[in-house]
Chain A
Amino acid sequence: MTENSLDTAGRQAAADEASGAQAAAPTPGAPHAVDGRSPSTVVKAPPDGARPPRRTLGRRAVTFADSLWRPALVLAVFFAAWWFVAAREYVPNYLVPTPGQVWETMTTQWSELARHTLVTLYETVLGFVLAAALGLVTAVAIAYSRTLDKALYPIVLFAQVIPKIAIAPLLVVWFGLGLTPKIILAVLIAFFPVVISGVAGLRSTDPELLDLAATMGAGPWRTFRKIRFPNALPHLMAGLKVAVTLAVVGAVVGEFVGASEGLGYVLLLANGNLDAPLLFADLILMSAIGIVLFVLVEIAEALLIPWHASRRAGVSLTTS
């Protein structure tokens, strides 16, 4: 099109001025190759090192195992100490049961515990997903609109500083004993880190990239999709990791206040009956929910932003 005719014009001019000696087409090895590195030389002698080799599955497994053995060792030592203290009854068993007792409770009451775990898991996951979606939308609104920034930020902050535990009873009054108040609580508690990290991420876009996008004639949606959103992902994923662990807290607190099922409910029950093994089993399950969800978000992060500096060292699923 326009470009082509321009090209021709330019070539013509260049050729004329160089008294037709040099055609425009670059031929490696031709006289004018001295004035630049001809393509072939560049390919043969790249100025920087070759790309690092792609990690194979085997290497990944080794990295994974390597990142796991240290925390595993610490956990083993902890369990040994626990078992030692409890078995020797330095502390009475109704306060600190032995790992064996906890294991027995866990296995004999497994079907019950599994049901309650699923309830809490459901509340947590739904709360987290809603918080992530709402948080992201709010973050986009705040990052894109100065007016919405001024209007929403104080409210978001206000929602964050209200002690969630204090409004839990109110939620129960409003929404009854069902799942709703627990999910709302999980959303409320997990929402804030998503908004903060999302805003930070969206605002961290290099202004030159935005200038560039403008000269590319791209609309706001394309700029968001191709530049701003992927650029915000590392921040956002950090916020989501915090949020997912907080969502568990929200769900459990909701269950404390008024529930007929869920791990929080079981915890109160066990506490009231001085049933230490059940209480411990319950605690372990709650932590398991948090850990599993956290690891899932980490895996999502590894898949979404393998390019980011924080992930280049290798897939570490732990904080080693």
Chain B
Amino acid sequence: MTTAPAATGTAIGMSGLTVRFTTRRSQTTALDDVSLDIEPGEFVTIVGPSGCGKSTLLKIVAGLVKPTSGDVSLLERPVRGPQKEIGFVFQKAALLEWRGARANILLQAEMRGMDRAQAARRADELIEMTGLTGFEKALPHELSGGMQQRVALCRALLHSPPVLLMDEPFGALDALTREQMNAELHRIWRETGTTVVLVTHSIAEAVFLGTRVVVMSPRPGRIIRTFPVELPAHRDYAQVMSDPRFDRLATDLRGLLGSAAANH
């Protein structure tokens, strides 16, 4: 508690990250010299066209992919191998089909060997917070896509990670559910103060959720620009959508992404 890395330094530091994949025929550069520092408590959203290496970037931070060159640090420590101080949410909920919602959330605790009673209490809190009450025993196939993703989110938050990495978590949801999930995620972020990095295709999602929006170019992925989001920390979905600042930023982003794609 007192050694919380939140107070000082960066939550995530990336410098000169480059990833090249070598296939038999050719060499492709997925990421090209990406540098980005993320402060504790920030909500950074990364937008970019498909295949720009956004997901790879998250996996590098998580220590699941090794960059060809460059350095990453998580909570001031260099990343070597899979990181434990994170929660990861994928586009697919990636739940265990044989476990009910609550048991799926508790997988996190079992895999980490966390204290059972404490984990169970935390799970119940999260279930309540995400509106999963009444569905604790439901198997994944009995849940809607949005509910499944809520379970995945709870699982990622169970151990109260200082950093939450989200790879297009709501990409497979319908527009309405997506808006609800955005609003919920915003609320959860405000309540927990977790540092979040969220990769998305959706400009609206990026602006509504982010304190900073990072725009990436098509392959090879580079950071084109970073926009601070000048919206209040506490956001209401409907209000934000009609806010002129939202409109301006969304238009800028759309223009930037469009021209980046055209130049490619």
Binding site for B on A (CB under 8 A): 1-14, 17-18, 21-22, 24-26, 32, 34-39, 41-43, 46-48, 51-52, 206, 208-209, 211-218, 222-223, 226-227, 230-231, 305, 307-309, 312
- Chain B residues closer than 8 Å to A206, beta-carbon distance: 92, 94
Chain B nearest Cβ from A68, distance in angstroms: 27
Which of A6, A37, A217, A312 lies in contact with B162, CB distance below 8 A?
Answer: A6
Q: A11-B190, A13-B193 are known; give 14 further A-B pairs, CB within 8 A.
A: A5-B4, A5-B6, A6-B40, A9-B7, A9-B41, A25-B191, A32-B234, A38-B131, A39-B133, A206-B94, A216-B84, A216-B108, A217-B112, A309-B141
Task: Place the interface of chain B in its size category.
Answer: 35 or more
- Chain B residues closer than 8 Å to A215, beta-carbon distance: 62-64, 82-84, 86-88
Are B84 and A217 neighbours in the complex by a CB distance under 8 Å? yes
Which of A21, A32, A208 lies in contact with B187, CB distance below 8 A?
Answer: A32
When A7-B192, A215-B64, A217-B82 are in contact, do A39 and B6 touch as well, CB less than 8 Å? no
Binding site for A on B (CB under 8 A): 1-7, 40-41, 59, 62-64, 82-84, 86-88, 90, 92, 94, 96-98, 107-108, 110-112, 128-135, 137-139, 141-144, 146-147, 159-162, 177, 180, 183-184, 186-187, 189-194, 232-238
Which of B3, B128, B237 lies in contact with A35, CB distance below 8 A?
Answer: B237
- Chain B residues closer than 8 Å to A14, beta-carbon distance: 190-191, 193, 233-234
Which of A4, A18, A211 lies in contact with B234, CB distance below 8 A?
Answer: A18
Bound Cα distance from A217 to B87, whole angstroms:
11
Can you pick out 8 interface pairs between chain A and chain B where the beta carbons lie within 8 Å of each other? A9-B41, A11-B193, A32-B236, A46-B134, A212-B90, A215-B64, A218-B112, A312-B141
Are A17 and B233 neighbours in the complex by a CB distance under 8 Å? yes
Which of A2, A9, A25, A209 lies in contact with B96, CB distance below 8 A?
Answer: A209
Bound Cα distance from A223 to B110, whole angstroms:
10
Are A10 and B184 neighbours in the complex by a CB distance under 8 Å? no
Are B1 and A11 neighbours in the complex by a CB distance under 8 Å? no
Are A2 and B162 neighbours in the complex by a CB distance under 8 Å? yes
The 9 closest A-B pairs by CB, nearest first: A10-B193, A42-B131, A3-B160, A17-B233, A214-B82, A18-B234, A216-B111, A218-B111, A217-B84
- Chain A residues closer than 8 Å to B190, beta-carbon distance: 10-11, 14, 24
Are A307 and B111 neighbours in the complex by a CB distance under 8 Å? no
The chain B residue sitting closest to A206, CB to CB, is: B94
- Chain A residues closer than 8 Å to B144, beta-carbon distance: 47-48
- Chain B residues closer than 8 Å to A9, beta-carbon distance: 4, 6-7, 40-41, 193
Chain A nearest Cβ from B128, distance in angstroms: 6
Are A47 and B147 neighbours in the complex by a CB distance under 8 Å? yes
- Chain A residues closer than 8 Å to B137, beta-carbon distance: 51
Chain B nearest Cβ from A201, distance in angstroms: 13
Which of A22, A38, A307 lies in contact with B139, CB distance below 8 A?
Answer: A307
Chain B nearest Cβ from A223, distance in angstroms: 8
Counting chain A CB atoms within 10 Å of each CB, the highest count among B3, B6, B144, B232 belongs to B6
Chain B nearest Cβ from A304, distance in angstroms: 9
Chain A nearest Cβ from B131, distance in angstroms: 3
- Chain A residues closer than 8 Å to B3, beta-carbon distance: 2
- Chain B residues closer than 8 Å to A38, beta-carbon distance: 131
Are A7 and B96 neighbours in the complex by a CB distance under 8 Å? no
- Chain A residues closer than 8 Å to B183, beta-carbon distance: 35-37
When A217-B82, A307-B139 are in contact, do A227 and B236 touch as well, CB less than 8 Å? no
- Chain A residues closer than 8 Å to B5, beta-carbon distance: 2
Are B134 and A222 neighbours in the complex by a CB distance under 8 Å? no
